[in-house]
A and B are shown apart, each in its own frame.
Chain A
Amino acid sequence: MTFIAKPKIAHPSLPRNPLGMTRRDYEGALSTLCAGCGHDSITAAVVEACWELAIEPQNLVKLSGIGCSSKTTAYFVNGAHGFNSVHGRMPSIAMGANAANRNLHYIGVSGDGDTLSIGLGQFCHAIRRNLNMLYIIENNGVYGLTKGQFSASADVGSKAKKGETNFQPPIDAVLLALTLGASFVARSFSGDKEQLVPLIQAGLKHKGFALIDVLSPCVTFNDHEGSTKSYAYTREHYEPAIHTDFVPLQQAITAEYAAGATLPVVLHDGSRIVLRKLDASYDPTDRAACAATIQERLKEEEYLTGLLFFEPGQPEFHDLNGTPEGALNAVPYEALSPGSAGMQKILARYR
């Protein structure tokens, strides 16, 4: 953390988005995380993504549970709505908020402890309901806030800072999400913003549950030799399989892609995601094959990264439940109140 706040002064030629806002306008409060924490980089990536998408801050909802990761919602987009919930219960709060107002962007930030231990059930059910939100796991393999115990995502054989080895197998959020039917499953690394920023943009624009499991080294308790989630280890063992380019609605696709290796996908609002295969044998549309390949590569101690599985067009929570079109607070009184005649009819049903 730092003791002085980031000064308000900015680069004189800082670019502005269509709303007239600079990147700096999407920042939040001063981070109190350790200096060098991967989470702060993810925060910066979220800031960058929201700025580029020109999201109006009042149309963004930030949700989190408990843990180092869950503190970070305070560090981006000051003007957004925020809810810091009970440990592991963020998906419930997101559920409720989303049910009440489907027109906002929902971004949940959670950690490996918050998601894969105490909140595992909530996480699974949010996927099952295909809740329209971006769910970011800031995954560092340790409980940083309680001084570095192994978390449920710690790999077998990984060494803690004090030297003990982890023997329990990890829960892999990506594999879990694939088996639960998630339609947008990605893995990334806090140290690779070129990959992470477009993923966050795509995730925010994806209709339905979007998961990004971000490897985010804990610089204080899990950045040593023997750790499988350190900066050095992650850089050596991470393998981008699919690169995602997010192309906003107004913009033409300018990059040239080799035929056969790209997969452009048009999203519901007309913006596009272009998946670029870095690993020719990898098919991000075949759920079973994806799961198998990811698992295989994990055994070889390799993290495949990128938008690993993508299946747009799945019905999300509101589609499945036939909820009203707009936000509940915008439903007119006439529609909400049956009137005295209508009330009589309803009561008659119970007589």
Chain B
Amino acid sequence: MHPTDTSHPDYFHKVVDCQWACPAHTDVPEYIRLIAQGRFTDAYMVNRQSNVFPGILGRVCDRPCEPACRRGRVEKKPVAICRLKRVAADYRDDVTSLLPKIPRLKNGKHIACIGAGCASLTVANDLMPLGYEVTIFEQYAEPGGLMRTNIPAFRLPQQVLGDEIGMILDMGVDLKLNHPIQSLRALLKDDRYDAVFIGSGAPQGKELSLPGRSEGAANIHIGIAWLGAVAFGHLDKIGERVLIIGVGNTAMDCCRTSLRLGAQRVKVMARKPRSFFKASAWELEDAEEEHVEIVVNRVPKSFVVANGRLAGMLFDKMEYDIDADGRITAERVVSEEFEAADDVILAIGQENAFPWIERDLGIEFDQWNVPLVDLKTFQSTQPGIFFGGDAAFGPKNIIWAVEQAHQAAISVHKHCQGEPISERLGPGMNLQSRKMGMHEWSYANDYTPFERRLMPHVSLKERFKKLDIEVELGFTAEQVAAEAQRCLNCDVQTVFDAKLCIECDACIDICPVDCLTITANGEEAELRTRLKAPALNTAQALYVSRALPQTGRVMVKDEDVCVHCGLCAERCPTAAWDMQKSYVHWPLAVDEARAAIEREPKIA
């Protein structure tokens, strides 16, 4: 193998699995260390820099970071990254003075954002400090988009939502509530706006057209619309027996909300076996803790209406043959089954919908009526019109919307400044040694064998009393201290300097997880079999050095299960190994603005 090129920012970034998995590249280990030091405000700001809504995401993020967490490969369970984020938000001080300053003198550019959800708010967050004037149009009476309408208050308190949205609105955003955009043409007509960002989400719940749908309509609800009605207080009760169709995260919110509106028996009806469920494991767990029954292998057949009222639903009971890879190879209907119900909630997906965009404005749509959006710049086929969040590529999680909006904000900025929007700053990487003395590092390098802490919940007796009792109580101080120590500090990188190595084997002997080997070089596939512990996880890189000075062999590190304890560097007599903190720099609009200033000719 060629020596690993660590000069490319991606190499060390990828070692920090959580940060690599996070769409917004949140510096997770850094904020967890700050939490461990009790610096909650600083931890919050590290988060806010990349993901904008730490308090919200600390409760409801889809947490792609956690399945990626290296701790999950060394032990069974990953670090509770998401809930530690909430800790930072819960215990922070007032951050007003730390937020970006908004220039009083504006730059003369006006931006329209459609929909006051997480995407538009992020665009405003990135552009307001640069002197832009941002107007957000929102169809409802309150901002927040799906964060407000679709995430029930028992998971995300209004207060938290209000605080973090407030931070952005207080930058001076012109928020127009109760202002649905009926026509994009009308908005564009008066030429007031230099760019338009469409962050209108995916507000259209999918329909289930089966016999009896129209006859039973009064008691058949579309999940996301129903959740919205509950959130705005238009609805405060539901029948005793409720069926939820679908088994995604929206279904979980629907079933748990039903329980709080008086439902006595809630069943979630799933087409396929459990391994095919779309809902996150923890959301399923939380629903089942509340005694929601999840019924598998039921395919909806028809709505049953009796005496002019919905009486229940008919299902085909299925049987599936599943192969070793978990794929369905055959399916058959075993029997038919009736489930009685007073109400049915459909939670089988949602999509973006743009009836208000005229098709002759230069914005091209594909055959499914989805706008054609550039994957990097988030610009539509009409220059100056950008999409982000669910509106761009269909429903995903908040954290994706935030990152897409960061990228769209860069494009909006470059568009307004007359710069080519596809020429963007690349990521950067800084490394800084963590060595303090002979055997001292400025991070807690010892491995802490704690198990993942369990999130305490409000008791089942208490939690249903009101709709907005937050179920998760947040970690206690002791839990925070323990959970923070579980982080392996993967961002404190093992950096090797081949020319200093005397091949004494000290690092190899001391490595607790056998990830180091000095051996003859070879092709990757073959080399992986020759290491001290075979490197079976090909998703994780091998770090291969240049030829070592004394024997010409190479130092190979399998990054897979390195616990970043720093013992290789502590044991190294020549400091060929060093522990260095990696800072990934993922450019935002403000960085593009700074870079533009630097490009300007200097006056001597």
Contact = CB atoms under 8 A, between A and B. Distances in A.
Interface of A: 1-4, 6-14, 23-24, 34-38, 40-41, 43-44, 190-191, 193, 217, 219, 223, 231-232, 235
B514 A14 contact: yes
A6 B561 CA distance: 15
Given A2-B570, A193-B505, A11 B510 contact: no
Contacts of A4: 445-446, 565, 567, 570
Nearest to B76: A12
A4 B563 CA distance: 14
Interface string B477-521: 000000000000000000000000011111011101111000000
A245 to B, nearest CB: 17
Interface string B559-589: 0010101010011111000000000000000
Nearest to B551: A235
Given A43-B509, A219-B573, A232 B502 contact: yes
B161 to A, nearest CB: 40
A12 B563 CA distance: 12
Interface string B47-73: 000000000000000000000000001
A256 to B, nearest CB: 19
Contact of A36 (B449, B550, B572): B572
B11 interface: no
Contacts of A190: 504-505
B449 A8 contact: yes
Given A9-B563, A36-B506, A190-B505, 14 more contacts: A2-B567, A6-B512, A11-B514, A14-B514, A35-B573, A36-B573, A40-B571, A44-B509, A191-B504, A193-B505, A219-B502, A223-B573, A231-B503, A231-B550
Given A2-B510, A35-B572, A223-B502, A9 B74 contact: yes
Contact of B504 (A13, A43, A231): A231
A281 B568 CA distance: 41
Nearest to B573: A36
B188 interface: no
Contact of A7 (B446, B506, B551): B446
Interface magnitude class on chain B: 35 or more
CB-CB nearest 7 A-B residue pairs: A36-B573, A7-B447, A44-B509, A3-B439, A11-B533, A36-B504, A41-B505
B219 to A, nearest CB: 51
B374 to A, nearest CB: 42
A41 B509 contact: yes
Nearest to B502: A231
Nearest to A216: B504
A255 to B, nearest CB: 16
Contacts of B534: 13
B536 interface: yes
Contact of A12 (B74, B502, B508, B509): B74
Contacts of A1: 439
A215 to B, nearest CB: 12
Contact of A6 (B449, B510, B572): B510
Contacts of A37: 504, 506
A37 B447 CA distance: 24
Nearest to B534: A13
Contacts of A6: 510, 512, 567
B571 A2 contact: yes
Nearest to A223: B502
A7 B509 contact: no
Nearest to A31: B510
A4 B565 CA distance: 9
